Structure 1
């Protein structure tokens, strides 16, 4: 009696296992990335220079991989629009804000606020009718937002708080959430993840190159020692893996599940910032993590319940 259901059970397991693995690996790379950005600042690498050369290196890695697989990024009006807007929201804009803010607010704080996109993405998905309202998931949004506000309040109330950079850093999660929704809604038909990822990174490098032409910006890197170049190479590999996994996760898990990358990134990034880089734990850290963790758990329980109801 149970044999006919076995293939279905195995298929269902595979459907959920792949997104989970993409999520854990991509989130770990994201957490590592915020700490590498702090190290870059300590080596007098500007945020723009570090981001540009790292993104360019990641683009070349993924482009080489796409060429080897004979799956190069398509060049159509729709795909070029997709690359540029995705790059502006999810790569160049958000990461430039985060990397620029880290010397002022710390890698730990940035790693924590990257947990906000799941909540903002869910609100956007509701507004655009990509998801139906559900009490559990709405409660999750409120809980996690309370956690984020707890962290932001403590950071803003600190005697040495840099209000401008705290507020600028908080814009980053909004850009990421918009990017998550945009990539799902505008995904070019019939184009694979490993073709879209290098296209987006090439577009991001062009946007950052254009920004470097503005007064006060530079792509110069220190040449008197090899460590900055080594750090850029490491970040390029991290970015290549992170953005390839992002597109794989986007396709298999959807925008809300994708945006949990920040939560996994915080689990990796905050302890590394505290234990290895000597940062002070943010005020309200425990309460903030509990509220955010509860919110994310409710979001996922609600998602599982939705899937169960549809199956029934």
Structure 2
């Protein structure tokens, strides 16, 4: 696998503004999206049908935007590889696992564990020598993983919780972290975020359609009126914004900052699940969420210091 990174953005006084805005907006969309996925089950949509039609709609929206911007998805062997693998780990596989688990473990629990990818991404980046070891970030990883453990143990100890679905939900953040690293390492040369996002979503829709050929799976829509269609349309727009911002953040902020989307999503998604969807707060919520928040802050703070140091060294050399 090539280790060529996405071209860095030159440091400046407002360099942080674009990635931070992308982070906040994209994370908010993830939090809302998680709760819409739970409501989709209420109106009779299966996870596969809901995900397929929403992803297909989002792909169409972003493709139209790419055409209007004259930034069509590149068509080459390298870009096709990128679309398929990124779609499998970042979209189709991870979201199918998470959305399938939501009816069994709750939208609040899923929103919380989606904050884990920054820590897993940092561990992978260290292993691949994309990041230097930093003590504060290492402590952050440990704190957040401990927080996830607290939530998982409490969830597993609940009498009505399935261990299988808790483990399925925990696999989602792992795939998301793999996707964060992969998309950075294999970003096609010269491609823009606006051109790559629709290509990845089109590939994800095709992969999900292939799943429908398996026994017991279907993308058929329920014949229960207009509400399921309205939910899919809403989710399509949420996905379109979410994945476009994901690629913009990938380009401007790098893989570790990118994976903080889940943390922002948790801040938005958990209160919605508790106050609007009337979910019972997950057991161990305060301790687990606090440890995860401490971990995310330490990982982020360490990343800011590393970036500032690198920019200073670069300016010194010039």
- TM class by smaller structure: over 0.9
Q: Which digits, 9 at most, give the CA deviation of each residue in 1:5-24, with x for residues without a partner?
A: xxxxx962321010000000
- Distance in 1 of aligned mates of 2:45 and 2:305: 47
- Distance in 1 of aligned mates of 2:77 and 2:271: 43
Matched, 1:224 2:224: yes
Match of 1:243 in 2: 243
Note the residue ranges of structure 1 that are not aligned, 5 or more in a row: 1-9
SS of match in other structure, 1:131: coil
Normalising by the residue count of structure 2, what TM-score does the alignment of the two structures yield?
0.94
SS of match in other structure, 2:14: helix
Match of 1:75 in 2: 75
- In the TM superposition, what are the counterparts of 1:164-175 in structure 2 within 5 Å? 164-175=164-175
- Distance in 1 of aligned mates of 2:103 and 2:224: 22
Match of 2:104 in 1: 104
Q: Offset of 1:216 from its aligned partner?
A: 0.4
Q: Offset of 1:44 from its aligned partner?
A: 1.3
Q: Give the number of aligned pairs.
A: 303
TM-aligned CA distance change 1:168 to 1:11, over 3 Å: closer
SS of match in other structure, 1:278: coil
Q: Offset of 1:57 from its aligned partner?
A: 0.2
Q: Which digits, 9 at most, give the CA deviation of each residue in 1:241-262, with x for residues without a partner?
A: 0000000000100000000000
Match of 1:296 in 2: 296
Normalising by the residue count of structure 1, what TM-score does the alignment of the two structures yield?
0.96
- Distance in 2 of aligned mates of 1:308 and 1:107: 37
More helix by share: 1
Match of 1:24 in 2: 24
Match of 2:14 in 1: 14
Match of 2:50 in 1: 50
Question: Over aligned residue pairs, what C-alpha RMSD do you find?
Answer: 1.1
Note the residue ranges of structure 2 that are not aligned, 5 or more in a row: 1-9, 314-318
Match of 2:138 in 1: 138
- Distance in 2 of aligned mates of 1:216 and 1:55: 20
Q: Offset of 1:131 from its aligned partner?
A: 0.3
SS of match in other structure, 1:255: helix
Q: Offset of 1:162 from its aligned partner?
A: 0.8
- Distance in 2 of aligned mates of 1:307 and 1:216: 49
Match of 2:211 in 1: 211
Q: Which digits, 9 at most, give the CA deviation of each residue in 1:95-143, with x for residues without a partner?
A: 0001100000000000000011000000000000000101010000001
